[in-house]
A and B are shown apart, each in its own frame.
Chain A
Amino acid sequence: MKQKNIDNIIALSNDLRWQIGDEFHDNLAEGIYADAAEIVKVSVHKPNGDNRLRLDAKIDKIITSKTWGFPLMFLILAVVLWLTIVGANYPSSMLAELLLNTIHPALKGYASALGLPWWLDGFLIDGVYMAVAWVIAVMLPPMAIFFPLFTLLEDFGYLPRVAFNLDHLFKLSGAHGKQALTMSMGFGCNAAGVVATRIIDSPRERLIAIITNNFSLCNGRWPTQILIATIFIGATVPASFAGIASLGAVIGVAILGICFMFLTSWALSKTVLKGEVSTFNLELPPYRPPRFWKTIYTSIIDRTLIVLWRAIVFAAPAGAVIWLISNIHIGDLSIAAWMIDSFDGFGFLFGLNGVILVAYIVAIPANEIVIPTILMLTVLVTGISGGAGAGVMFELDSANATGEILRAGGWTLLTAVNLMLFSLLHNPCSTTIYTIYKETKSVRWTVVASILPVIMGFVVTFLVAQVWRLFA
């Protein structure tokens, strides 16, 4: 009985729909707008005419102009990165001093006073503690600078304009215009970038944004790029240009990453993730003076600390593994040495070496510990003096000293260039992989997102190595 009445209602609605014709939607919308106009006429007064947005319009004309839009965007990106990199140096070295040079020896002291066996003290303090300490010292300061800067730009209203400027390129590559926002976020942290893709409605375009986020050079990888560029690229030019050359190389790698992002987005949208580009309305919000302290507070609570905590959770076991493989011996060599030996030939093909590959395998959890691990492993296998013992990650105060160790380990300019490329193009860190799984709920796409960049990394470094050797 009830069912019948509902059918009646639906039938009636169908009849009525025929009667009033298909302009219903438009008529309704028009009616609403007419009402709105009447109400506004009575209650809203603009004594000085409609001069609002005049300043906004002026700013927009420059920021979104064809001529100035892109240069301004790169300039702002460069300034943000520069502030992050330079500004992070001091707190980073202070944290390193505290965590690595003060607390670490103190802990070792307590451990020996307590009479802990060497393996327990090594495993816990040299392994787990050092990895966590490294991650905090290297990761916290740049994030605490980058995320607030990013949030200030967001609050000011700049980010939607970036999306507006890049929309055309994203459309060409078959991706969503809002990917510009998640991509920028990735420069801070890929895991945060992956979470940010929630703003993209279409599942197809969201997947593209997730898979390609890793091509944004995250702040765990900036230090690697900068250090290697300073040591090897800076050295190829006269000393007075060294700074500019190495900075140029780093920015170049970041832009290369953006190119790979577009290329991969395009390839995905033409193959496995075929589909139409969805249109979307992005209202350019008014420029607003950001609320400085509030913004800084929320961005540190919301983004920095959450991301840092996740990184620590993943880095701790990695530290344990690194210590174990350097201290467990099979025959007369440690596991690490065995691994490096067996990867050396493979690494040569790609202009890399066994140390780099092993470092990238064990340092999956956090990109921050790649360089300390590489140094430790290089010292381990070359037997040169330096470092703090097997399985203890370290970094040297001066780039020169680091360069000497690396050159003693057989590093050349090619190794450096390819390490920079491989640092850009390799699997996401395990924090990001885990985040991708949580966001996509799909093992398949998580695997694709993890494997695809490594494959590209191997292809690119292989080609570079072959061409290099042909001409060098």
Chain B
Amino acid sequence: MTSEMTGLTAHTALMSEARSLLTGALTAYRDVPRAAQWLHARLRRLDEPLRIGVVGARGVGKSTALNAVAGRGLRDAVLVEVTTPTPSQDSGGTGWDDVDASLFLTRHARPADLATLRSAQDSPVASALPVGVVLVLCRADETSAGRIDALTTARQLARRHRRDVRWRALCQNVVALSGLLAHTGRTLRESEFADLATLAAVPRAELENVLLSADRFVGADFPVPMDPATRHALLDRFGVFGLRLATTLVRTGCDTRATLSAQLVRRSGLAELRETVTRCFVDRGEVLRARSALLALELVLEREPHPTAGRLAAELERVVASAHEVRELHALGNLTSGRTALSPELTAEADRLLGGQGTEVAVRLGMAEPPSPADLHAATTNALLRWQRQAENPLLDQHDRGLVATVVRTCEGILADLSG
């Protein structure tokens, strides 16, 4: 029971701070209708579900990705499609600042994307609380010119970007996704499975021949009788790579719609993306919502100077400086994406302590049975001492040292909560 409460207080501290700050600002700005209206909307937003933006340039595959990610498992969150501005447009009205967290969709993760992300996080509050972006390398099925190992290569690419310092500073994780495969896999129909089975029955050399290009697949010369309209529909649903993969899967043992569907979804990278979304966004929804409330307040303070703005700004700065939850989230992002030189055991423990497995104190300390307060206290003290020693490890680089400091601070926080 104590653990439940501790977890709760740890999470809602920032939220209640944000709420009281916004309420205070609302009082201060009640004579400025525009600002008041905006603050009121943000205050209401605090009680609404987390808004996750699916951000990307036009034609990058946002809708497909959104359709793939949305659905079960995303409780307490809504997905919003956001188009990034092209250089010719002005940045107004994109709605990117209207979401609490974003999945940034890009095909190749170019330097231009870095610039876009950087410009979206250039306010003092945003850079002090750098969480809320996951980079998605979408259209993974088009990697490597659609060879059968395209998805594996895409995952390797994602891993490399994850370790790249430039991306590391801007996003919590990098995930490769084939939106098309994920969506098709999730919504695979029996008729489609039957058609794929027909195709898989075609001798391999012949099938490969028609699967060489999209034109050939819908061409007149086809080894089995299949309606061209059906073939067009299949091509639209799967793409050339998807067809190659699906027929190979059917031939190598996926003999039911369900198994094929599961395989496609698994390989598309959707599961990993979902897990990332859940762990980085949904589980920390309150922190993220509080963060965007703080960002909104920062915007108001900057745009609408007011006599009481100075006091509010100081208050905001204090809250931001003490927002340990957000830093915990950031450290957790770094841990889960494998950007650390810590040993696997330490990494696992840090992940647990930071709340990667669950934010209750007992879970954080890795205690299965409901423990006694004394046990909890002893375990926390132990952990604290262990990590304090790690903090002095000269072999750690700057990033890892920051991570260890965050873990130490978490242990201190738990100890303080237990004592208080």
Q: Do A and B come from one complex?
A: no
Residues of B within 8 A of A (CB): none
